[in-house]
Structure 1
Amino acid sequence: MLTSRRDFLKLTGGAAAATSLVPRVVVAQPTVKIGTAVLADYGLAGPVIIAVEKGFFKEQGVNAEFLPFRGGPDLLKAVMVGEVLVGVTGSTDIIQFREAGSPIKMVATHGEGNNFVIVTSPDGPAMSELKGKGIGVTRPGSASWILTRMAAKAQGWDPDRDVKILGLGGLDAQLAALTRKEIAAFIWGDYGGVSVAQGRTKVIFKLETITPKWISFIEYSAEDQIKKNPEQVRGSIRAMFQAFKFMKANPEESARITSAKLGWSPDVVLAVHRGWLPIAPADGRIDVEALRVMQDTLLESGTIKKRLPLEEHYTTEFTPVRL
């Protein structure tokens, strides 16, 4: 029988001590995937690779894996079924896929400006000579497809009749088709990236010349994930912005870390890194005016048919990112 408050405290204190000796059960965070529209684009994939390899996702409480795809539409499917938590892709995807009814929202800017270019072989044709020829893109409906159609229209051509726009997938497939002369050119980000740095291609058209107000890359998530798992989304974004900060401060180490996953030599990655710096985002905030210009451009080109309210395309819940 407990005869005093002191006896009670002794008993409960002993029970607490005994409980503390029981091994603590740690509930592991479920694994989530961070997807990119393609692998061979430093601006898209580099920050995700760095965030994984440097442990930035874990620092933010996110157990993340990197999963590259073969184009924006394929990535969208994975986001919509919950296979991917945050997708990183070309910016036009958010406008086009929202118009098609996909319940997704942009959560941060992953690359400013427009770093897409059309490239050809070192002895290939000029942009003005591409009429009637094949141009490679990742997938029909992707950002690369939309921008190629815009480039064709800027030349005064009908993109459905005057050029052949072919969905080929990733960079290796584009280069192989170019070598076999199945295409005369292809579009890529990173200002041409590795293929230009290696001397395998040359730039013949910069998309920024017809899109002065633009966003290169975005991070987006499904609306239900934003509602159900906001902290996982937030942590994923913060981890990638830790990576941006690290990459800006440590270009040589960033090149070394990413080279193995990208399959490029560190010196080539470093050259691509220097070209990427001008579009590297500061804090992820969303330029609504750039979204408006992009929406106007897609409407004028006939890529989309209706104008949705801009606020339906994004959320400011996660930006600006403060580290």
Structure 2
Amino acid sequence: MKPIHWTLGSSVLVATLALAAPGLGQDQTLSPQDPYHIVLGTIPIAPLIPAFIAVDQGYFLEEGLEVELRPEPGGQDIVTAVVAQEFDFGFSNQTSLLIARSRGLPIRAIANGVVGSPDVESAWDGVIVPADSEIETPQDLIGKVVSVNTLNNTPHLVVLSALENAGIEDPASQIQFLEVQFPDAVGAVSQRQVDAAWVVEPFVTVGSFSDTRVIMNPLIETGESFLMSVYFTSEQLIEERPDVVAAFTRAINRAMQYATENPEAVRQAFPRFNQSASEAVAEQMALPFWTTELSPSDLELGAELALRYGFIEQIPDLEAFVYSGSD
């Protein structure tokens, strides 16, 4: 297994691999002895733990891949990097990808990334407010400032949907949304820079250590096991190296299956994936839900909501967007 080195990012420690020289030819056979170097765009949140596990457990290497995990603030940045061929693969929320695809950008979803919980009790996201805030219900957010990590995106979308489902008509006109990155959101709430923030784990738990509380769980309130994010790549890589795409997909699905079956291993791995997360946070946080299945129908609700809220002008061909490896 290749050694893992840690380099300091702006707010997290980011895993990178000891890199082999890039530039293997298209006819290069994938081999653990001479692995093909790829870059995967990531975000320092709990849903990405399987990607770290796939590196740490050698799943990628067994497939003949040497993977560099490259951090970005959000899904939109990763989409841009994949389209620009700076990254080979990415992890992004589905709305960023639907926006890109609706604009004709050459990207395709290749594997499920993470889904919302099947019930409120196991939710791994939440809108947090200060513990002593007067805000108790979604209706109390009217006239307030709520942060999401990316505007006009799945985080923004699920909060709007949950607010509508709570009976608030046209929430976009009654609530001010502000873009604040996940690592800064808890502090923004604690310091009263925003009235509330939508966050995912580990930041829900980090917030509980900083005197915040959850008032709603937008993912489950949008839909049971709502598809949050997927892994994706460029059409060019699919055309030129379908073997690399297939190898990546096998490895990440294997890692997601392992994460689902070994929750304690996930908790132990997380502080090494994101060293800004303590062992105490990792032990208490709610774990995301992973699945190795992805179909065009999984994107239908998100696409309809993106159209409803004006994030896209038309729904792209979902069948053509999801790459199954056989087309």
TM category, shorter: 0.7 to 0.9
Q: Does 1:229 align with 2:252?
A: no
Alpha carbons 1:56, 1:242 under 8 Å: kept: yes
Alpha carbons 1:94, 1:313 under 8 Å: kept: no
Return the offset for 1:318.
7.4
Distance 1:190 1:318 in 2: 35
Report what 1:150 is aligned to. 161
Give the AA of the match of 2:82: V
Distance 2:146 2:326 in 1: 37
Return the offset for 1:157.
4.5
Pick closer, same or farther for the CA change 1:181–1:242 going to 2, 3 Å.
same
Q: Secondary structure at the match of 2:192?
A: coil
Pick closer, same or farther for the CA change 1:89–1:307 going to 2, 3 Å.
closer
Return the offset for 1:200.
4.1
- Please provide the CA RMSD for this pair: 2.6
Report what 1:178 is aligned to. 189
Report what 2:205 is aligned to. 194
Alpha carbons 2:125, 2:200 under 8 Å: kept: yes
Report what 1:220 is aligned to. 232
What does the per-residue CA deviation read over 1:259-298, in whole Å, with 9 as the maximum and x for residues that have no partner?
13322222421332xx325x221xx222332322222222
Report what 1:280 is aligned to. 290
Distance 1:142 1:133 in 2: 20
1:35 to 32, 35, 41: 41
Any unmatched runs of 5+ in structure 1? Answer: 1-25
Alpha carbons 1:117, 1:192 under 8 Å: kept: no
What does the per-residue CA deviation read over 1:195-241, in whole Å, with 9 as the maximum and x for residues that have no partner?
25646432211222233463122111111111112222222222222
1:164 to 176, 193, 197: 176
Give the AA of the match of 1:66: L
Give the AA of the match of 2:105: S
TM-score (norm: length of structure 2):
0.78
Report what 2:281 is aligned to. 268
Return the offset for 1:252.
2.8
Alpha carbons 1:117, 1:205 under 8 Å: kept: yes
Distance 1:206 1:301 in 2: 19
Report what 2:69 is aligned to. 66
Pick closer, same or farther for the CA change 1:189–1:313 going to 2, 3 Å.
farther
Report what 2:150 is aligned to. 139
TM-score (norm: length of structure 1):
0.79
Larger Rg: 1
Q: Does 1:245 align with 2:257?
A: yes
1:90 to 93, 100, 120: 93
Pick closer, same or farther for the CA change 1:53–1:191 going to 2, 3 Å.
closer
Give the AA of the match of 1:252: E
**Residues paired across the two proteins, number:** 285
Q: Secondary structure at the match of 2:314?
A: coil
Q: Percent identity?
A: 20
Distance 1:317 1:241 in 2: 14
Distance 1:27 1:247 in 2: 26
